[in-house]
Structures are given as C-alpha cells and as structure tokens.
Amino acid sequence: MTKAVTRLFQQFQPENYALSLVPDREGMKFSGQVSITGKKVGRPSERITLHQKGLKVISASIVRHDKKGDQSYPVARINNQDSFDEVRLHADAQLYPGNYTVTLEFEGTITTPMHGIYPCEFKHEGKKKQLIATQFESHHAREAFPCIDEPEAKATFDLTLTTPAGETVIANTPVLEQRTNGELCITSFETTPRMSTYLLAFVYGELGYLEATTKDGVLVRTYATPDNVKMTQHSLDVAVKSLEFFGDYFTTPYPLPKLDMIALPDFSSGAMENWGLVTYREVAMLLDETSGSIESKQYIATVVAHELSHQWFGNLVTMKWWDDLWLNESFANMMEYRAVDAIYPEWHIWEQFVSTEGASAKRRDSLADVQPIHCKVSHPDQISSLFDPSIVYAKGGTVLYMLMHFIGEAAFRAGLQNYFTKHQYGNTQAEDLWAALSKASDHDVSAFMANWINNPGYPMISVDWQPGTSEVRLSQQRFYSDPAVAESTQEPWQVPLAATNTLDMQLLTSSGAVATLQSPDSALLLNHNGQSYSLPRYVNSDHRAHITTAIQAGKVGTIDRLLLLDGYTLLQRGGFSGTVDLLELVQAYKSETSENVWGAIAGAIAESRRLIEGDEDSEAKLNAIVAKLVEPLALELGWDDAPDDDASKLHLRGLIISMAAGAKMPAILEEGAKRFAVFKQPSDLGASTRSIVYFIAARYGSQADFDKLLQLHNSSSSAEDRDEYAGALTSVKESDRYHTILKMLTGTEIRRQDLMHWYVWLLRNRYARADAWTWLKDHWSWIEVEYASDKSYSYFARYGGSIFSHREELDKFSEFFEPKKSIVALTRDITLAQQEITSRVAWRERNEAAVKAWLK
C-alpha cells in the first residue's frame, strides 16, 4: 500500500507567486527566483515545507508580515527530501501562524520527458528548431519552481520570463511589459486569476498565429510553428464559437481578456487546458482545409470544445484534491459534445457520444476490479492511473448525460449556473455540485448519483416481457464480462429505465420489480437514446424477435439501433448470449444507412473475426457475408468525395469501403492499388478513403509500395498524414517489413508521443503481434526510462489486455507483468489487463466452435 503524502496546503497556503524564470535552451537548464506570499497555518514550527522535484535551491529567506512590521527569519538549513518531492526550509526560531513571504533562488533542468519545462523539436526552412514549452498537470509544476503543488492551493501568479530576443513568448495572461536587453528579452505578464499551480503555462520560440475576437471582446489566437499556422483556422473558428456557447450556457463570462491555443510538435497528452494558454498535440488542432478528413475535423472540434469547457470546469472551479478529478474531466467530456452539437447540429454528434463514449465505458467498466469514477488518491504516483479515459472521461460523461436527462436540461443548466456563481475561483467536492443541482431540480441528486460515482460497474437490466401483454418483470445485477466473477453484493443502482414505450415506472431502485406497459403492442426498449447507463437484456425470445422485426420495419431509432448491437456485443462477452446471436442480429441491418450504426456493425464483425483468426475457410465465409452486406452501399457511395457530401456521407463512405477492403473484395483491392500507384500527394486522394488506399498498399502491395509509404511518413510535416501512414505501415504482413517498423520504435523517426499508437497497431496486426510483444519485453528498460513519469506508461500493459485472447498469451502476459505490480503507476492496469484477457479466453472457449459451425 502506498503511503499517503502530507498535504502541504494544510501547513502553508500561498496567495501569490512572483516568479521569474531564465531558461537556457542550449544548456538544457534554467534558473529562477520565486517569492511566495501566503499564510502559515496550523501549529507553530521551525520550518516551511514546499514541493520541489529535481531543483537545486541555492538560497532562501523567510519574512513574516504583521501589524508590528516585517520580521526576517534566517534560514538555517535547506533540506531537500527527494523521496517526498519536498524542500524544507528550517528557520532558527519558531514560525507562528500568520502572513509570510518565502523567497527562493533555484536552478533546474529542461527535461526530455514531456512534462515540467521541456523542448519541442521541429524543422523550418530545412533547419532544426526548438520551442520551449511546459506541462504541469498533474504534479509537475514542482519541477519548474518551488510551490505548494496541490489543486486546492490556489494563488495568483506574476510571471516574468527571460528569453531570446526576437522570439514569440506567451503565457496564461497578456503581456504587461516587455523590454530588450541585448540578445535577451524580458517579458512580464499580467497577474493571473486565482488558480492551481498545474494550470500555469508558457511557451516561447518561433511561432505564428491567426486571431479573431468573440462577441464579448475576448481576443482568441491560435499559434503554431511557422509552416503550420494556416492550418489553425478550423480550431480558431471552433474556439470562438465554443467560448461564446459556454459563456451563454453557464451565464458566466470567460474571465480572461484573451485565450491562446498552441499546437506543439511534441506533447504527451492530447491537449491541456492551462487557463488562457491551451496546449495541444498538432493532430488535435491542425487541419489542412484542402485535404483534411471529416474525422479529423470532428476530432479537432471535440478536443477544442473539451479544453475550453475546462476554462469553467477545472479552472474557474477546481476539485479540492485528485479524488474528484472526474469533476474536471467527466463534465468536460459531456460538455464538449453539447457545445459541438450547438455549433455543428448537422453532425448528429450525440450519436457519436453514445456509440464511442458509452461503449468504451461499458467495456472497461465490466471488469471486476475497475476503479469507480470517484477514486481515493493518497499519493501523486497514483494520479496517472486515475486518467483512465474509459472511466473518468467516458463513464463520467455518460453518467452525467443520464443525470441531465433525468432531471431535465433546464434544471441541469440552472444548477450549473448556480454552482459557478457560488464557487468561482474556489475548490469543490462532489457534494457541492449535487447541492446546486438538487436545488435547481427538486431531486435528491446526491442520493441518485452516489452509487454511480462511488462504486464501479453498472447494472444489467433483465427485461422479461411477452409481446401483447402488459406485465414487465425487471431485475438488476452488476454486469461482468467474465461470468466466473461472483455476483456483486453492492446496493442496487437508481436506474432510469428510459423506455421507448410508456411504463408506469421510470426509476428502478430495487433489485427487482414488476411494471405495467401502457401500449403492449409497441416494441419495448430500455435505455432509449442512451439516456441510462445500463445494459438491457431482453430474456424472452418472442420479445427479441419483436425487436428484430421492428428494426427491419424501420421503427427503431438510430441510437437505439446501435445500442442494440453494442448491447449484444457485451452480453455475448458476459455469457448471456452467444457470438452467433450477435452475427444473426447483424443480418437485420441489411438496409442500414446510418454511419454510426454501421460503426456498431463493423465492431460486431470485428469481434467475431477474433474467434476465427488463422482459419482460412471460416475467414473466407465471413468475408463473403460482409461483402454481400456492404456491396450495395460500396457501389452507391464509390471512392470519391463530392463538394456537397455531408458529414454523414463522408463518414459512411470511409467505413463501407474500409469494411469492403477488410473483406478482401477483389474490386476494392484492385481499385485501391490502382489509386496508390498514381497518387503523388494526399490531396490527390479522397479524404474519406485515403487511409484505405494506404492500407491496401501496405497489406497487399510490394516492397516498393512499403518503401514509398515509409518515405512519405518520414518526410511529412502533417500530423494527420503521418498518423494515416503509420496506420497503414503497421498493418503489413511480411516479417521483414514489420521488423523494420519495430526497429523504428526506439529511433528518431517516431516521436515519443506517437509511439503508443504504433505499438498498439502492431499488436492488433495478427501477423506482427507475437514479435511486437517480444519487442516490449526486450525494450522494457528503455520504456521505463522514456515513459515511467508519463501517464501513458501504464498503457503498455493496458493495451496488451485489450487484444490478447489465448490462454498462452495470458500466461506470457502474467509472467512478464506480475512482478511489476508493485509499481504504483502500473498496478491497476496490470490487474485489469489480466482480468480482461481471462474473460476473453473464456469467451473464446465458449464461442469459437459455434461461430465456425455457423459459418459452415
């Protein structure tokens, strides 16, 4: 068990940091001075303790301020406690509670890992260039300056940076003063609002920008390296509209005079919500308007909206401690879709929310030892494991979506408005939010949400109904993907039934109940439009047939159609149905036209393919079924995008042609190869099918085709293009080619931020999987050096768990990772990966023979 760290905010509470930093890019180091004004609280002692990591404190002084004047206390000893990330300043006398200024001079290192103060590499006009950037979330501000590095320790910041003259320098707030001193430029910034240390940020280097102004007068700028500035127009447009939307929705104005966003060449996360200076990976902010795909356009929109929602959820109001990280991320997850739906209603983005966020959450949340949304944190090393995207982001967002529908959006919105008014610039816990929503809705939101937030898992609702009758028997139990797990004894959830037909019961609060159906001749579905975080199981065969008939008759809505497929996929994993049942359900979707439902169909087929990998006869028969299913749409949609194609059609074209290529349809493979042979640049190919052309060339093409893709990747300056090339290159069959890729993983061709994508794609490639696993074991020491302090560290264990499905793979995984469970950042993901592989092995043993027999 990890020992809990001391909460330093309970000893010293900063009010202002006057921080001056002088980075030295060539020497990969920096020097600085910070004067921290604040209050010493608690008992008298002879020391003040601050956070620091990797810093050398050269000098320190302590001054007390009271009515009698200022009193200095010489610092007798500066004691670095590296194991606690602390520096302890020992005075030569008792320090009583009161107001103090603590001043320290220090030196530090510009780090290679992408946190603290770190470099970003890029090329401009053929020359290597370097930006200097920061990433302080979750607890990396202490690597840049001594501080109280806890979210509750909010303070204002007066930042001064000394940087090379002629370079652009930006931070959270506008420039207050700038003066040149020879080859150096000294820039002071306006005082920030009260905020947590993890939100402080700055970047400097050769940059350009586009700008626009919101209707409220907020200046918005989008920065990038010189060659990429023009590709920030889309993110600029989304940023302006998102700020305006959130300001109106929360009736709380954005509190800063400016918002900067910057696309960084090297960035570990997808993006970071630093107040007034939001940082992004290039792929999350840059769009080539001439060749960018609809997927990229929508991804950028959701990421930008997510980060800007944080300007309220997380920045203006912040969790007290990392236990309530979900207050930041779950709300941002849901609100990004709410904003994008308002900006681009034609995208039908809520369908994607349900099909991606809800499905991701339920897969992860079906494991026995998964974390709850609200998770106890006793040590900073545990924080990285809290950023589980399927739980803190996806499940949290889905549960809040359920809550919004349960109490009504008007009450939900009114509650949020009251919440921001009452707690702005402060810190909160979950109960503060529940109180605001309860007051606005006349519901006991705390009681309703308790089980959803504080306990793992979700309920499977068994529905026993005979069509034509009015009695509906309901029961709930926690759903597990492994039937061998003992049934949970936790309290029942309060489950909104969200029925498509009128029931005399809206909320299931007990383990079982009987409800009455008002219209017994209509199809009965629960979790209508994804408004309940639950998994319906329709136990009566006549009921299931009734649903299938309704689908074929076009009487089931889009979201409900995709939820049925996702639900069957989960149920056959948990042993409540078979994979054959899932394949038979797919046959009811022959007339489907929704791109998001086709995404669920593709997922169901991919699930089935896992069971027959390597069985050529079974694979050929499944390919024939898929080809028959997609051929009409493939012929109708074709390969080329038209100027008037809407987002739905663009998505659908890419998905259908991809499924056709996966089914090895000869005409599709031939056309893809032909297009690859003549293309010279990405804009020569349709954006929706371009990645499929690359895949066909990599999987079925020649060595020359492989070399061409590799050269294109290595020479491209577009993040989106590089990702598409990478997806193709990692799909090769020939061992010499994927060994070339494996050698690149530790080289300079692949940025450290992108390596995880390459590794996961190689694991998913059945031909390269075994060698990719060997690469991981052989290079674990290198991985520890490069990633041990990064929150993606645990993903090396996690993604093995999401892919392996054979008993021998489970044994090899456990043999390697079991000894590493003592590493705090890895413990949870190793355990969950073992559980996931175990459940998948059992699933394979239950279903493999039946699927092969069905295909015959």
Give tens-digit pLDDT for 703-717.
Answer: 999 999 999 999 999
Q: What is the percentage of the chain residues whose pLDDT exceeds 70?
A: 100
Min mean pLDDT across 241-245, 373-377, 542-546, 661-665 is at 373-377
3 has pLDDT over 70: no
Residue 307 designated active-site: yes
Please tell me the predicted confidence (pLDDT) of residue 1: 43
Q: What is the pLDDT of residues 720-755, one digit of tens each?
A: 999 999 999 999 999 999 999 999 999 999 999 999
Name the 3-class secondary structure at 246. Answer: helix
> Model confidence at 2, in pLDDT bands (50, 70, 90)?
low
Instruction: Give the mean pLDDT of 503-509.
Output: 94
Say how far apart CA 188 and CA 173 lie, in whole Å.
10
What pLDDT sits at residue 479? 97
Q: pLDDT tens for residues 531-542?
A: 999 999 999 999
pLDDT at 175 over 60: yes
Cα–Cα distance, 397 to 403 (Å, whole number): 10
* 436-464 average pLDDT score: 97
Domains, the chain = 1-205 (2.60.40.1730), 318-454 (1.10.390.10), 459-573 (2.60.40.1910), 702-856 (1.25.50.20)
Q: How far apart are CA 477 and CA 510, in angstroms?
A: 10
What is the overall mean pLDDT for the chain? 96
Query: Is 843 a residue whose pLDDT tops 70?
Result: yes
Q: Which of 12-16, 33-37, 111-115, 661-665 has the lowest mean pLDDT?
A: 111-115
Q: pTM of whole model > 0.95?
A: yes
pLDDT digits (tens, 9 = 90+) for 101-151: 999 999 999 998 999 999 999 999 989 999 999 999 999 999 999 999 999
Residue 336 above 80 pLDDT?
Answer: yes
371-400 tens-digit pLDDT:
999 998 877 777 777 778 999 999 999 999
Computed from CA positions of residues 728, 730, 735, 741, in that sequence, does the dihedral angle turn out positive or negative? positive
Residue 260's pLDDT band, with cuts at 50, 70 and 90, is: very high
- Which tens digits make up the pLDDT trace of 471-503? 999 999 999 999 999 887 889 999 999 999 889
Asked if residue 47 lies in contact with residue 89, where contact means CB atoms within 8 angstroms, the answer is: yes
Q: At 792, is the pLDDT very low, low, confident or very high (cuts 50, 70, 90)?
A: confident
The predicted pLDDT at position 489 comes to 80
pLDDT tens digit string along 78-101? Answer: 999 998 999 999 999 999 999 999
* DSSP secondary structure string for all residues of 682-720: GGGS-TTTHHHHHHHHHHHS-HHHHHHHHHHHHH---HH
β-pair type (156-164, 184-189):
antiparallel
The one catalytic residue among 307, 671, 724, 836: 307
Q: What is the pLDDT of residue 490?
A: 83
Residue 488 confidence (pLDDT):
76
The pLDDT of residue 5: 79
Taking residues 652-661, report their average pLDDT.
98
Three-state SS for 502-562 is CECCCEECCCEEEEEECCCCCCCCCCHHHCCCCEEEECCHHHHHHHHHHHHCCCCCHHHHH
